């Protein structure tokens, strides 16, 4: 067994391909984008109140996983980096990597050297390393056995990188290259290199922890200068999967409660498309990002792999979520033709990542949540009069005085909740989807590019006489089309 990853090979009735989990999720966000330590503290309170949604093994002090995602806390990082004689530029001009290293010092130093080399090869500026203070005194034996050595890497934005979006893509390429190229397998499997986050916008603190262990393990989460306008938290319950440090959530963009039941097909189709992929923003770098899906991850991690790729390739976060978790649209009588065209067009490009799921997501500016089309995972939210939104997998995760409550609600099947901290407002499901669906003439693209098989085949003569029954004109599915939709 791999101690760090705690995942055995396929054997007997066990197959890692069928792993799923069910968890507790939540987020706290200031609608106006006002950063404070209070948002972080409240989110950790939410996490503690979701402790029962997480799980532990036979050791009561070894958790399945817990974590928090926040915006980069610039004031805190400037102070923390200065202790290691690192001078940080202004926000948006540097990125921070939270990195899990092997505890073996020789392997760690080799991994650090390789990482620095990749940063230089990609034209970015390596600023320095910082060891993250941790306290493992409360952790169980199993959690301690797989515990990584945790460091932060600070990367400066090269002058040639024109904006934050381009810098995020550069950091993504660095991370993918490092993930593919820096591994130190051994018999115990304890020398794995992993990057929980590498971004100029967000940072992730997570581990094989109980929700109640987060603040003790990462003491700096209690520092008043560690501020954010949004925070996503997750308490993991590995229903029929194996917990480890890497599989704790959040996953850079998402927190997930539920299961992806169509996973094998989703993975296979993504692999099949890779040879045909093209990207204006990545250009020739695209081939260095492949494979998109890391099949060593959980179902949540593989969902995240696809979402991140779609977003960094140029789509908005709501657009990518609509592609991956579409509403039931085919026979929807009241849905607008514009929205139907959007879903029909994207059905030619990607299959739904389907299953009972509630997913919280953020790009560091926008934060939201979406529920699967059947509504099989709960998500409740509260909006306060002082511009705070709290969403979680259940009610009662944060004490809010009744007089502060402006609105309460629950996510509806297939619907999306979105808060844009730049615009300082909540954007309704109708507005989000109308905006995304009207960005391009999807109906026109369908009509011009889709090829129906019934238009190609002779209606009177089957292509293969010996198999004529299944494909005769009377049995052919109406409206069957190839996957040739495109712009």
Averaged pLDDT, 419-437 = 96
User: Which of 41-50, 343-352, 374-383, 473-482 shows the lowest per-residue confidence on average (mean pLDDT)?
Assistant: 473-482
pLDDT at 260 (0 to 100): 87
pLDDT at 265 exceeding the cut of 70: yes
Question: What's residue 11's pLDDT?
Answer: 65
Question: Is it the case that residue 481 has pLDDT exceeding 50?
Answer: no
Rounded to 5 degrees, what are φ and ψ at 234? -150, 135
The reported pTM is 0.87
Token digits for 73? 């806390």
How much is the average pLDDT of 330-354? Answer: 91
Contacts of 134 (CB under 8 A, 6+ apart): 150, 217, 218, 219
H or E stretch covering 329: none
Phi, psi for residue 46 in degrees, rounded to 5: -60, -45
Q: Over pLDDT 70: what percentage of the chain?
A: 85
- Examine residue 455 and say whether the peptide bond preceding it is cis (omega within 30 degrees of 0): no
What is residue 236's predicted lDDT score, i.e. its pLDDT?
A: 76
Residue of 340, 359, 350, 212 lying closest to 299 (CA atoms): 359
Q: Give the mean pLDDT of the chain.
A: 86
Task: Clarify whether 23 is annotated catalytic.
Answer: yes
Q: Are 6 and 242 in contact (CB under 8 A)?
A: yes
pLDDT value for 204: 98
Catalytic residue among 23, 56, 306, 485: 23
Instruction: Check residue 12 and give its pLDDT.
Output: 67
Instruction: Give the single-character DSSP code of 263.
Output: H
Mapped onto helix, strand or coil, the DSSP state of residue 379 is: coil
- The interaxial angle of helices 337-347 and 442-449, nearest 10 deg, is 50
Give the whole-angstrom CA distance, residue 418 versus residue 428. 7
Hey, which residues does 438 pair with through a beta bridge? none
Do residues 233 and 25 lie in contact, with contact meaning Cβ atoms separated by under 8 Å? yes
Q: What per-residue confidence (pLDDT) applies to 324?
A: 94
Q: CA 256 to CA 305: how far, in whole Å?
A: 13
Q: For 230-264, how does the pLDDT look when each residue is reduced to its tens digit (9 = 90+)?
A: 999 998 766 556 778 988 889 999 998 888 889 89
pLDDT at 190 over 60: no
Q: How many residues does the chain have?
A: 487
Chain segment 410-427, per-residue pLDDT in tens: 998 889 999 999 999 999
CA-to-CA distance for 160 and 233, rounded, in angstroms? 35
Sort 326 into a burial class: Cβ within 10 Å, 0-12 / 13-18 / 19+. buried
Residue 122 has pLDDT above 80, yes or no: yes
């Amino acid at each position: 067994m791999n101690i760090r990853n705690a995942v055995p090979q396929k054997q007997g009735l066990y197959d890692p391909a069928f792993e799923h989990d069910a968890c507790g999720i939540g987020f706290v966000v200031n609608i106006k984008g006002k950063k404070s330590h209070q948002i972080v503290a409240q989110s950790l309170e939410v996490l503690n109140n979701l402790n029962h949604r997480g799980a532990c093994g036979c050791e009561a002090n070894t958790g399945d996983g817990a974590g928090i995602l926040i915006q980069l806390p610039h004031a805190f990082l400037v102070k923390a980096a200065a202790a290691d004689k690192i001078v940080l530029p202004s926000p948006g001009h540097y990125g921070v990597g939270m990195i899990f290293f092997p505890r073996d010092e020789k392997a760690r130093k080799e991994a650090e050297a390789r990482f620095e080399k990749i940063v230089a090869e990609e034209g970015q500026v390596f600023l320095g390393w910082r060891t993250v203070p941790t306290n493992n005194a409360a952790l169980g034996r199993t959690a301690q056995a797989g515990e990584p050595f945790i460091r932060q890497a600070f990367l400066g934005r090269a002058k040639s990188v024109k904006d934050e979006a381009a810098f995020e893509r550069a950091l993504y390429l660095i991370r993918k290259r490092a993930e593919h190229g820096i591994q130190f397998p051994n018999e115990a499997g304890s020398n794995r290199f992993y990057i929980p986050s590498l971004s100029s916008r967000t940072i992730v603190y997570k581990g094989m922890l109980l929700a109640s262990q987060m603040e003790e393990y990462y003491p700096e989460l209690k520092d008043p200068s560690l501020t954010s306008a949004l925070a996503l938290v997750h308490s993991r319950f590995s229903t029929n999967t194996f917990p480890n440090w890497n599989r704790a959530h959040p996953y850079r963009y998402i927190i997930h409660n539920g299961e992806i039941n169509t996973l094998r097909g989703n993975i296979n189709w993504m692999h099949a498309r890779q040879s045909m992929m093209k990207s204006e923003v990545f250009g020739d770098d695209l081939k260095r990002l492949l494979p998109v899906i890391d099949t060593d991850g959980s179902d949540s991690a593989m969902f995240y792999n696809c979402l991140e790729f779609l977003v960094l390739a140029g789509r908005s976060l709501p657009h990518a979520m609509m592609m991956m978790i579409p509403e039931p649209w085919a026979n929807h009588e009241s849905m607008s033709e514009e929205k139907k065209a959007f879903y029909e067009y994207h059905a030619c490009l990607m299959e739904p990542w389907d299953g009972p799921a509630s997913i919280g997501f953020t790009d560091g500016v926008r934060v939201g949540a979406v529920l699967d089309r059947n509504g099989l995972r709960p998500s409740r939210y509260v909006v306060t009069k002082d511009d705070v939104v709290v969403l979680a997998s259940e009610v009662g995760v944060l004490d809010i005085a009744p007089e502060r409550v402006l609105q309460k609600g629950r996510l509806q099947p297939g619907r999306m909740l979105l808060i844009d901290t730049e615009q300082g407002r909540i954007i309704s499901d109708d507005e989000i989807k109308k905006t995304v669906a009207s960005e391009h003439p999807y109906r026109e693209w369908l009509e011009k590019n889709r090829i129906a098989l019934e238009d190609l085949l002779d209606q009177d003569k089957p292509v293969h006489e010996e198999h004529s029954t299944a494909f005769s004109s009377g049995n052919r599915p109406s409206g069957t089309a190839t996957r040739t939709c495109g712009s």
